[in-house]
Amino acid sequence: MSGDEKLCILSAIEEQHNDSRKSMTMSEEKPSTFDARGRPGHQTLIGEGTIARLGEVLDAMASDSVLLVADQNAYHLSGAVDAVRSVLSRRRYEVFSDFQENPSLEDIDAGIDRLKRADYEVVLAVGGGSAIDVAKVIAACSVEEASPRDIITGKAGVAHTGPPTIAIPTTAGTGAHTTHFSAVFVDGEKYSLAHETLRPDVAIVDPELTYSMPPLLTAATGLDALCQAMESMWAVGSTDSSRRFAREAIPLAAAHLETAVLSPTPEARDAMCRASHLAGEAINISKTTAAHAMAYTFTTDYHVAHGIAAALTLAAVLEYNSRTGDSDCIDPRGTEHVRNVVAEVVALLGCRSPEDAGVRLTGLLEAVGCPTRLSEVGVTTSEQRRAIASGVNTERLGNNPRRMTFESVDELLASIR
């Protein structure tokens, strides 16, 4: 089937459902656009019950064979298993679930072997960020002459178009279903592979699949979405489009996260899924900043869940950026732009000042049972703080609007010790 034919079918599917909130499309691209691969631009189906439309999507792709990349726990506990099996029973498929929570090169190699051995036409991911990241990288690397190792580590580029990918998230927070980057560990070191071809062709975001999420996972993923949205607002790489997505995501996450964690309702779950999707759309354009940059070491060295690790420094980063001056502003749009954007974030949180916003964020973390001080995650000495400052992801620091140095990171960490 040609790209034009697939486009017409996908557009027709959307037209049949565009009056229903349950199948709302929230993608930035119009249904009539093509992506860099010559395929229809990224499509998102979002709302309760949208997983039932998986068959329509596969029919639109004229796909008779599928490699299902699934987090086994999430696949079964979320309830996705019944709907997916029903659709795939009419097609040739295989389940690949032999990957770690922090995906490794070996996981990618194994998945590519499965894909190539049976020549599957589509890669379908069901699960959280790990499953979706694995699926995206398998699809992208499977058609390259260069080795996955060289591609992931940046020694070789992505030059071809892999098989279509469909992402069905079972968590509300990572945004992996709508971004063009994935994280993979090679020899114990984390790499972020970014390329336009990694972005899934279709995402199906069904809040019902998040109903079984336990409180801690709900908190961690929801905080990740909130961090992504806030950081996207002030990122050097932000645009009018990324801030538009972030403006919608911030109040949704801030208003509904506590309920989603402590006494979840369908409304709260739906709101967090929408916040997650919007935040993912935002960082797909802007990428993240200092809070995420500092999160990596907390996760790898202190085993703090990613979203919680990012949220741990979020209030301090907000206050730090609110004091941006002409001498340390690295956003080419200038100091006034940065201060105005931070002030807008403060207002979106329902606060009057950066200090009030910091109190609001700290209170939210406490309410959902997450740490607010370094000592609560095992960082108790100045030597540990300096080690964290030394290991900060410099790429993300370069996207923070106010310049950060080793000394400023250490000072910021000391403020929440």
The pLDDT of residue 127: 97
Q: Which residues contact 217 (CB under 8 A, 6 or more apart)?
A: 171, 305
| pLDDT (tens digit per residue) in 3-50 | 444 434 344 344 434 433 333 344 333 333 444 444 556 899 999 999
340-357 pLDDT, tens digit per residue, is: 999 999 999 999 999 999
Q: Kind of pairing, strands 202-205 and 189-194?
A: unpaired
Alpha helices by DSSP H, listed for 199-305, are: 215-234, 240-262, 266-286, 290-302
pLDDT score at 3: 40
What is the pTM (predicted TM-score) of this model?
0.90
Supply the pLDDT for residue 8: 40
Q: How far apart are CA 289 and CA 291, in angstroms?
A: 6
Q: Where are the domains of the chain?
A: 3-209, 213-414
Q: Which fold has domain 213-414?
A: Dehydroquinate synthase-like, alpha domain (1.20.1090)
Domain 3-209, CATH number (from 3.40.50.1970, 3.40.50.800, 1.10.1370.30, 3.40.50.920): 3.40.50.1970
Q: Among 101, 124, 100, 125, which Cα is nearest to 110's?
A: 100
Q: Which residue has the tokens 């070789």?
A: 156
Ranges of residues in the chain with a pLDDT under 50 are 1-38
Burial of 262 (0-12, 13-18, 19+ CB in 10 A): middle
Please state, in angstroms and rounded to a whole number, the distance separating the CA atoms of residues 364 and 347. 16
pLDDT at 40: 53
